[in-house]
Amino acid sequence: MESARPGVDLSPMSAADQLLSEFWWPTAHAGDALGDSPGGSRVPVRHQSTSWVPLHLSFVEAMRPPWLEEDNALVMMPLADCKDLLGEPLVVGKGSGRQIPLVVHGRHGIAFAFDLGATLEQMLFARAFTERRPLISYLPFHYHRIPPRVRASLGKMLRGTLYSGKRRSAYPQWPIEPSVEVLRWLWYQTRKLEGHREPPVPFWPEGRRYAVVLTHDVDTAQGQENIRRLADLEEAHGLRSCWYVTGRHYVLDYDLLQALLRTGHEIGLHGDTHDSTLAFGSAETIRKRLEACREPVSRLAMKGFRSPYFFRTRTLLREVEQQFMYDSSIPDTGSFLGAGTGCGSVFPLAVGGLQVIPTTVPPDGALLADSWTPEEIIELWLRKIRWIKAVGGVAVVLTHPEPEMSARRDMVDAYGAFLQRLKADQDAWFALPREVARHWRLRGRETSWHATSMS
Ligand SMILES: [Zn+2]
């Protein structure tokens, strides 16, 4: 049986296969429950340091991703052991003076020159976590205690290399990282060329092409006071959003927050004290700190978590999994600390049994601290969202209602104009993060499959 299987090796049902099946639309296989994957099995153990090879890909027409644009066509791949394959090359990678046939039509069908599943897993998880504790997490006080002017230059220093050429080739690339989506596309096209005809399972409901999720991190009491400024704007456009508040950092305004819930918004947890050390504690410490937020979590019906500063470790996410339905602490690329960190994908993914919805639109704070104007920020957001729409992913927007961030008069105006542009798009599914998490989990049931269903 094994030797008769042509082309891409899709069996047995490994963790990597599951990743692929979740993103594309293989045969429905009732009874193969989602979440049954043993906890943590999809997260590979710590990766060896990998050299990421930047490649310009050339495709035969049937394999070309229609959304791959000239200016973001650089694909980064961890190509440790690439096989030499005989046959007609369908996709060729060019880089570092080499030409590597990546996908080949050979005697036994279509084959990848590399282990597709392992490569994809590495792309998703090699940079997904904050492995090294950043210097800023050692600051003995909250960042809001630093005067805004000093904070801005400190931020610039910390991010120094974000937009410089030096890190432009780092994985994941900022602000758009196409590599993961390119691999999935190749896998899907390969199956079509091999004659598989599974009925498609759409990514999103209601025939929408992509999802849009509005979120806010409320870092301080002042931020909480400004919530209505942004909430009013959203409601005026018929939109709702998720507000991640801290559990124990400022006095929560339950009247305000419960009124938000009643009008259809969502409230999530943004750490306990927003002090930047949470992710780096022991499992027990993290558990205790999260449990200490039990009251607001239950009174505000919180289902989701976003870590302060986007600091996230495997230990943190394992603890989050115990108490929440989803997490949104992993960016697809970049955070305020710059490029070279993130899961490289604009689709939800599973970390152990936890649903992760990556934050995929560059957050307001880092851009403002880096002196971007509101107009430039909106332009960048729309550019990123256009790309997310093209690949069919989820656009997760993050703004802070803090006085020096999106509660600034000029940013409020720009946000209003931005919402108006977004709202006009009939292809967008506007949803709360908990709705996206739920939808993706249910969709996973429809798309899970066994190797046996494919022969
Ligand atoms: Zn924050």
pLDDT digits (tens, 9 = 90+) for 56-75: 999 999 899 888 876 667 88
445: nearest Cα among 10, 85, 3, 33: 33
CA of 308 to the centre of ligand 1 (A): 4
In this prediction, residue 25 carries a pLDDT of 36
Distance 307 CA to ligand 1 centre (A): 7
Q: Which residue has the tokens 């205790």?
A: 288
217 CA distance to ligand 1 middle (Å):
5
Distance 227 CA to ligand 1 centre (A): 14
Q: What is the pLDDT of residue 145?
A: 64
Tally of residues, the chain: 455
**Per-residue pLDDT tens over the stretch 126-146:** 889 987 777 766 766 666 666
CA of 245 to the centre of ligand 1 (A): 9
Q: Describe the chain by its helix, strand, coil percentages, rounded to 5.
A: 40, 15, 45
Could you tell me the distance, in angstroms and rounded to a whole number, from the CA of residue 404 to the centre of ligand 1? 13
Distance between Cα 33 and ligand 1 center (Å) = 35
Cα(146) to centroid(ligand 1), Å: 15
CB 340 within 8 A of CB 49: no
Question: If you measure from the C-alpha of residue 157 to the centroid of ligand 1, how many angstroms do you get, rounded to a whole number?
Answer: 19
- Between the CA of 271 and the centroid of ligand 1 the distance, in Å, is 8
Compute and round to an integer the Cα radius of gyration of the chain. 22
Distance 37 CA to ligand 1 centre (A): 32
Say which DSSP state 275 is in.
Answer: -
Cα of 19 from ligand 1 centre, angstroms:
30
Q: List the one residue out of 292, 298, 257, 301 whose CA is nearest residue 272.
A: 292
- Count the alpha carbons within 13 Å of 269 in the hemisphere toward its beta carbon: 29
Spacing, Cα 418 to ligand 1 middle (Å) = 22
CA of 276 to the centre of ligand 1 (A): 9
**Rounded distance between C-alpha atoms, residue 298 and residue 109, angstroms:** 54
Measure 274 CA to ligand 1 centroid, in angstroms. 6
CA of 27 to the centre of ligand 1 (A): 41
pLDDT at residue 111, rounded to an integer: 92
Tell me how far the alpha carbon of residue 262 lies from the centroid of ligand 1, in angstroms: 24
Distance from the CA of 73 to the center of ligand 1, in angstroms? 32
331 C-alpha to center of ligand 1: Å? 14
Q: Which amino acid is at 152?
A: A
Q: What is the pTM of this model?
A: 0.86
Q: What residues contact 17, with CB distance under 8 A and at least 6 apart?
A: 10, 11, 117, 451
How far apart are the CA of 41 and the centre of ligand 1, in A? 30
**Quick one: pLDDT at residue 149?**
64
Give the pLDDT confidence score for residue 17 in this predicted structure: 52
pLDDT at residue 267, as a whole number: 98
CA 406: distance to chain centroid?
22
Between the CA of 219 and the centroid of ligand 1 the distance, in Å, is 5
How many C-beta neighbours within 10 Å does residue 307 have?
Answer: 25
Residue 145 Cα to ligand 1 midpoint, Å, equals 14
CA of 286 to the centre of ligand 1 (A): 17
Cα-to-centroid distance, 452 and ligand 1 (Å): 46
pLDDT, residue 140, reads 62
- What's the gap in Å between 256 CA and the centre of ligand 1? 19
How far, in Å, is the centroid of ligand 1 from the Cα of 234?
A: 20
Q: Which amino acid belongs to residue 164?
A: S
d(CA 241, ligand 1 centre) in Å: 16
Ligand 1 centre and the CA of 171: distance in Å? 24
From first to last of its 455 residues, the chain has per-residue pLDDT tens of 333 333 333 333 344 555 555 554 332 222 222 222 323 333 333 444 567 888 999 999 989 988 887 666 788 888 777 888 899 999 999 987 888 999 999 988 999 998 888 888 888 888 899 877 777 667 666 666 666 666 666 656 555 444 443 444 588 988 999 999 999 889 888 888 888 776 667 889 988 889 999 999 999 999 999 999 999 999 999 999 999 999 999 999 999 999 999 999 999 999 999 988 999 999 999 999 999 999 999 999 999 999 999 999 999 999 999 999 999 999 999 866 556 789 999 999 888 889 999 999 999 998 998 889 999 999 999 999 999 998 889 999 999 999 999 999 999 999 999 999 999 999 999 999 999 999 988 887 766 543 333 33
Of 439, 353, 448, 417, the closest CA to residue 43 belongs to 353
Question: How far does the centroid of ligand 1 lie from the alpha carbon of residue 218, in Å?
Answer: 6
